């Protein structure tokens, strides 16, 4: 899913995917719970805290959170991880560290020095290293697997590389008043809200207008099989070129931040597997592209759960 925000027809507005009902499948967390194991979530971002809800045996509510980024700084998040391990020692802990993402979004030097992001990366790297040291000193390392990855990379754009499609759609006779856009920085999710009989024609028109706009990489019909997206993602998914960003519906105010993701340029991610457990590969580097889809089957395989239903693959 190239998006954090979607149009919710029941509400008639664009919203973050921050509700527990937004996850429609059985998570690894729930599958482990059913086997009598204990789980924990330590999630720095408020919307992640909402979407995972009360699935885990133990969960930490992000605090303190910064007012604009709506996330808890990594130092507080990692302190919460240590406290959860000391008090409950769950079999699985799912952790989200938000500093690199949040500071990366706001990095005004992102197209050149990437200064803010690199500073956040160095700080988080130190915290993760301390966590690994704690696992080793407590004796947990020999029975542990630690996955460290990003859910996306980041692309930066300058103020003159902004795409806004809403005005062009509103100027079209067919589309005017019948299109809503969920802006996700590197991807616009476009929803047809007009009569069902006109949907097919509207999708083609949306694609035509988007494809003719400078900075647009591709406008895909959401039903394209390779996208693997459901109705929540709208009718057309529009990706921008590297070095560009979307700002919809308002070209000036909707998305002023320079760092964005959701488009193909931000697909590559780091994916590290560590730990002292015998099943963890040691000293292995693979050139195949890892995906976030691979996390669930990797973790499920580690715990002896079936991975047959997953689209990704286990890396053990």
pLDDT of residue 212: 98
pLDDT of residue 120: 93
- Which secondary-structure segment (H or E) carries 170? helix 166-170
pLDDT of residue 113: 81
Mean pLDDT of the chain: 96
Give the distance from CA 147 to its chain's centroid: 16
Q: Are 203 and 209 in contact (CB under 8 A)?
A: no
Task: Count, in order, helices (H) and strands (E) of the chain.
Answer: 8, 15
196 and 217 both lie in a single domain: yes
124 and 270 both lie in a single domain: yes
User: Residue 150: is its pLDDT beyond 90?
Assistant: yes
Q: What is the pTM for the complete model shown? A: 0.94
CATH code of the domain in which 46 resides: 3.40.720.10
pLDDT of residue 60: 98
- Mean pLDDT (whole number) for 295-302: 98
| 133 in a structural domain | yes
51 and 143 both lie in a single domain: yes
178 and 284 both lie in a single domain: no
Give the model's confidence band at 1: pLDDT under 50 very low, under 70 low, under 90 confident, else very high: confident
CB atoms within 10 A of CB 126: 13
Residue 182: give the domain boundaries.
162-257
pLDDT of residue 175: 99
User: Residue 68: is its pLDDT beyond 90?
Assistant: no
Q: Are 229 and 252 in contact (CB under 8 A)?
A: no
135 and 24 both lie in a single domain: yes
Instruction: Look at 43 and 103; give whichever has higher pLDDT.
Output: 43
Domain total for the chain?
2
CATH code of the domain in which 224 resides: 3.30.1360.180
Instruction: Look at 113 and 118; give whichever has higher pLDDT.
Output: 118
Q: Which of 257, 275, 310 is the last residue of a domain?
A: 257
Q: How many angstroms separate the CA atoms of 97 and 72, rounded?
A: 8
202 and 56 both lie in a single domain: no
57 and 124 both lie in a single domain: yes
User: Residue 289: is its pLDDT beyond 90?
Assistant: no
185 and 289 both lie in a single domain: no
State the DSSP string of 51-107. Answer: HHTT-SSEEE---S--TTT-B--HHHHHHHHHHHHHHT--SEEEEE--HHHHHHHT-
| 109 in a structural domain | yes
- Which secondary-structure segment (H or E) carries 43? strand 39-43
pLDDT in tens, 265-284: 999 999 999 999 999 999 99
| 46 in a structural domain | yes
94 and 226 both lie in a single domain: no
Give the model's confidence band at 114: pLDDT under 50 very low, under 70 low, under 90 confident, else very high: confident
């Amino acid at each position: 899913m190239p998006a954090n925000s979607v149009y919710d027809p029941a509400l008639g507005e664009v919203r973050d995917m921050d509700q527990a009902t937004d996850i429609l499948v059985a998570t690894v967390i729930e599958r482990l719970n059913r086997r009598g194991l204990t789980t924990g979530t330590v999630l720095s971002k408020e919307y992640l805290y909402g979407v995972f809800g009360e699935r885990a045996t133990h969960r930490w509510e992000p605090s303190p959170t910064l007012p604009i980024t709506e996330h808890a700084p990594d130092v507080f998040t990692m302190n919460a991880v240590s406290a959860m391990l000391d008090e409950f020692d769950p079999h699985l802990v799912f952790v989200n560290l938000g500093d690199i993402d949040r500071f990366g979004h706001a990095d005004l030097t992102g197209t050149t020095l990437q200064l803010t992001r690199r500073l956040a990366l160095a700080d988080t790297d130190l915290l993760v290293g301390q966590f690994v040291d704690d696992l080793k000193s407590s004796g947990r390392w020999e029975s542990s697997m630690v996955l460290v990855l990003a859910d996306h990379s980041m692309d930066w754009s300058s103020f003159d590389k902004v795409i806004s499609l809403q005005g062009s759609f509103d100027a079209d006779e067919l589309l005017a008043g019948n299109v809503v856009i969920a802006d996700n920085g590197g991807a616009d999710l476009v929803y047809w809200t007009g009569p069902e009989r006109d949907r097919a024609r509207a999708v083609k028109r949306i694609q035509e207008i988007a494809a003719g706009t400078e900075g647009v990489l591709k406008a895909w019909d959401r039903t394209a099989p390779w996208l693997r997206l459901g109705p929540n993602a709208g009718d057309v998914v529009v990706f921008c070129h590297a070095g560009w960003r979307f700002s919809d519906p308002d070209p000036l105010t909707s998305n002023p931040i320079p760092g964005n993701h959701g488009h193909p340029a931000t697909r590559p991610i780091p994916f590290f597997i560590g730990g002292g457990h015998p099943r963890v590969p040691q000293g292995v580097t693979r050139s195949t592209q890892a995906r976030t889809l691979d996390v669930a089957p990797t973790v499920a395989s580690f715990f002896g759960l079936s991975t047959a239903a997953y689209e990704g693959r286990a890396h053990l």
